[in-house]
Structures are given as C-alpha cells and as structure tokens.
Chains A and B, each alone.
Chain A
C-alpha cells in the first residue's frame, strides 16, 4: 500500500526523497553529538563500576558483598526507563536537578555496571584457581595477582559478552530521548512530528542504528581474534 502510493505519485516520491535526505543530517548530528558519546562515556564508567562491583561480590567482606548484591538486584529488577525517570524527573523534588545528558550518563552507567558486573564476576571465577596460586607462589599480593594475572585473562573471556552489552547500550540510548536528550531518536521524533512521515523517518533511524551496530560487531570479531591468538 505504502510502496504503491509512493510510486504511483511522483510528487510524493520526490517529497519523501527530499525528507529522507534533509533528515539525515540532523539525525547523524544527534548520533555524533549525543548517541555515541552517551554510549561510550556510560560504557566506560559502567565497566569501572562493574569491575568494582564484581570484586566486591567475590570479596570476603560481608558488608561489601551485601551492598554490591543489593545494587545489582535493584538495577536488574527495575526498568531502565523508570530509573532514568527517577534520576531526571524525580531527583529535582529533593533539590537535585541534573542536565539531561548527565542524567542519562548516570542511568546508563548504573545499568551497565550492574549487568556487566555479572559478566566480569563469572569471567574472574572462570580463571583456574592455579593461576591465583601461581601468582601467590612468586610472592604476589591479592591485588598484584588480580591485576597482573587474573584480570587480563578474565578480560579475554569477557570480550564477547561485553560486546553484546555495548551493542545493546547503543540501542538503549534511544530511551534518553524521553529525558530530553537530543540524541538520534529524539531528532527523528522531532522531524517526524513536523512532516508526519513516521514510517520513513523512523525506518531511517533504525537503519542508522543498524549500521552503527554492524560496525561494532565487526570490531568485536577483530578484537576476539586478536585476543585469541595465543590461548
């Protein structure tokens, strides 16, 4: 139907072509100015948080383990969108007003931190006990063995699942449109609300996400190959 109506009417075809072209620039702008930085910053902060959380969860300290456990449970047990709303729309009620971008970074980082901590925890536990012992046997402390022996090997194990998280995060940033971050999907919404060509504009947005994610999975394959060289 839609395709019929496009090709039956050259004027409409021209109009759609024009919209597709003119909407590309603001959407790419949104991707480059907001979607991509939001993804990268949140992922880096999230991974740091995840490593700390994973270490807390395998530590001997009961309090530390408890805090980390509650954090992971709370984040995994509540919708990301609700978390973003609490940070951006909720916190002003107690006098904390945050910029949309900052709110989104906090929300996504907390989310990545919780989910990735489970990946990293499993990866650390997958390294044979003998590796810790070999480190200890040459006089290493816990921290040295962790940093020099265990984490580098755990990192290799974590690459495939963490790449998955990263790719998911790219798409999840579209939720930031609802806390007023002018990332790619919000740009798409703005454009579509002016010209009512929802199918065209949203499909275009979807294609851009797809291209970004495709590029990332190629990068993932490359990294896996590199890390797998000698093991």
Chain B
C-alpha cells in the first residue's frame, strides 16, 4: 500500500502542493487528472523524491520517509527503488542500446550479474513488444518504442509502484495506442500504478479510481464511471466539460 499524508511542496514563494492525503491499495490503478499547474506532476515527482517535499510523510509498502525532518541522501536513493518512473520525454540514455537501458538499473544499482540482467532485460523488452529492437539506440526508435523501453527500464527494478508522468503527451497520436496497451497489460497483471494523463479513455478502461486535482489539493476522487458521468464538485465538472 502507498500512503501520502499532509504532503506539501513549496517552490520559493509558490506553494504547489497544499496538503495532499492519498492512499492507494496494492494492485490498484489510480489515474490523476487536472488542469496544468494543479500539482499532479509535482505530486508524482515527490513520490519518487525527484522533488523533495517541504513536509509530509510518504510510505510505500512499509518503508516511509518523513520530510518534516532532514532525510539523508542514502535513504532517498533506497526509497526510489520502490518506485518506477516513466517520464513524459522518455529520458532514455541515448548512449546505450534499448537492452543496455533496461539492464542499467539491475547491474549498477542492484549489482546483478550481467548475463542474468541481460536475460531479464530481454524478457522485459519482449513483454513490451520490442524483442526485435534490443540492440537499437534510442535515436533509432520511434517515440512510442522509446516510451515502451522506458517502461521496461522502470520495470527492471521490480518496483512496488509504477509512476507515469503524462507518458503519451509527447507522442504522435498514432503511437499513443501501443503505449497504452502496454500500460493496460501491466494493470491487468496487478501492478500498482499512479498515472498522470489526459487520456480519458485509459482512465475509463483501466483505472480503479480517478483523482481530480486542482490548485494543489485533491478536489475529488471516485470510480471512473462516477467521476465522468456524475462529478460531485463544480470544479471537476468544469474541467471535464472543457476537455470533452
């Protein structure tokens, strides 16, 4: 289980997160929606500590960090292994092949034997449908393919939860489907996922719960069919009207 308690994040004068409380059960898929600047990406980045929260407690499967105190760097690096992050711009390592991108974490961070890591990475690439592209460099792959390598790279660390930060926003429309398909498969396998996205169809089809954020707080959370057909809050309704 993942729990966030009283999460605040302040950038200089700007308070981006104004106290987020959230629990995500194991194996659940949560889609986070909301207007730009609502803090959804910041919340995701706080979850794997790419942003250091100003205060609040984050715990993942019994490991927890309390940001009201000073958190040592070592704990942060260890905590990050619990989460897998998929970035909007993929952020693949351009000097490494698809296979090497996926192997990198297990070999360097976990100290896994190279041949074992290669086997594992190959299996993961197979799983995301890139079995025939293992020796390609990122620059030789399409956006959709790169993002699938990004998913495989995150999965290689066997995280407790996968975080997706607008994984299809940078893609050409015809490439969105292949990435969403991989994400749906993952959801069906019981992976815990928190997905920031504008893909409402994905939210409808794959999410257990949809969270609407605005102004640095969680405004509303509910089952997808409920939130899309019968939003309780005015702000949610306005937002949904604007995008649909």
Question: Which A residues lie at the B interface, using CB under 8 A?
Answer: 128, 130-131, 133-134, 136-142, 144, 148-149, 152-153, 156, 230-231
- Stretch of B29-37, B84-92, B187-195 with 4 or more beta carbons under 8 angstroms from chain A: B84-92
A148-B108 in contact (CB<8A): yes
Question: Which B residues lie at the A interface, using CB under 8 A?
Answer: 48, 50, 73-74, 77-78, 80-81, 83-85, 87, 89, 91-95, 104-105, 108-110, 137, 139-140, 153-154, 156-157
B157 CB to closest chain A CB (Å) equals 5
B140-A140 in contact (CB<8A): no
A192 CB to closest chain B CB (Å) equals 50
B87-A139 in contact (CB<8A): no
User: Looking at the complex, which one of A130, A139, A153, A231 makes contact with B105 (CB distance below 8 Å)?
Assistant: A139
- Docked Cα-Cα span, A140 to B81, in Å, equals 9
A131-B93 in contact given A138-B105, A139-B105 (Cβ < 8 Å): yes
A138-B95 in contact given A130-B87, A130-B89, A230-B139 (Cβ < 8 Å): no
A182 CB to closest chain B CB (Å) equals 43
B108-A153 in contact (CB<8A): no
- Docked Cα-Cα span, A156 to B153, in Å, equals 24
Would you list 23 pairs from A and B whose C-beta atoms are within 8 A, ordered by A residue? A130-B91, A133-B91, A134-B87, A134-B153, A136-B80, A137-B48, A137-B50, A137-B83, A137-B87, A138-B81, A138-B104, A139-B77, A139-B80, A139-B110, A139-B157, A140-B77, A140-B105, A142-B73, A144-B108, A148-B108, A156-B95, A230-B139, A231-B95
Contacts of B109 in A (CB 8 A): 138-140, 144
A137-B93 in contact given A144-B108, A231-B139 (Cβ < 8 Å): no
Contacts of B156 in A (CB 8 A): 138
A133-B93 in contact (CB<8A): no
- Docked Cα-Cα span, A129 to B68, in Å, equals 26
A114 CB to closest chain B CB (Å) equals 28
A152 CB to closest chain B CB (Å) equals 5
- Docked Cα-Cα span, A134 to B94, in Å, equals 12
Chain B: which residue is nearest A131 at the CB level? B91
A230-B137 in contact given A133-B50, A138-B105, A138-B157 (Cβ < 8 Å): yes
A136-B50 in contact given A149-B93, A231-B95 (Cβ < 8 Å): yes
Contacts of A149 in B (CB 8 A): 93
Chain B: which residue is nearest A148 at the CB level? B108
A139-B94 in contact given A133-B50, A148-B104 (Cβ < 8 Å): no
A140-B89 in contact (CB<8A): no
Q: Which 5 A-B pairs have the closest CB atoms?
A: A138-B105, A137-B85, A134-B91, A230-B137, A139-B81
- Docked Cα-Cα span, A144 to B106, in Å, equals 13
B94-A230 in contact (CB<8A): yes
Contacts of B87 in A (CB 8 A): 130, 133-134, 137
A134-B93 in contact (CB<8A): yes
- Docked Cα-Cα span, A227 to B156, in Å, equals 28
A120 CB to closest chain B CB (Å) equals 17
Contacts of B95 in A (CB 8 A): 152-153, 156, 230-231
B86 CB to closest chain A CB (Å) equals 9
B217 CB to closest chain A CB (Å) equals 25
A138-B77 in contact given A133-B50, A152-B95, A230-B140 (Cβ < 8 Å): no
A124 CB to closest chain B CB (Å) equals 14
Chain A: which residue is nearest B102 at the CB level? A138
Contacts of A156 in B (CB 8 A): 95
- Docked Cα-Cα span, A142 to B72, in Å, equals 13
- Docked Cα-Cα span, A30 to B226, in Å, equals 85
B177 CB to closest chain A CB (Å) equals 24
Contacts of B48 in A (CB 8 A): 136-137
- Docked Cα-Cα span, A193 to B174, in Å, equals 77
A200 CB to closest chain B CB (Å) equals 50
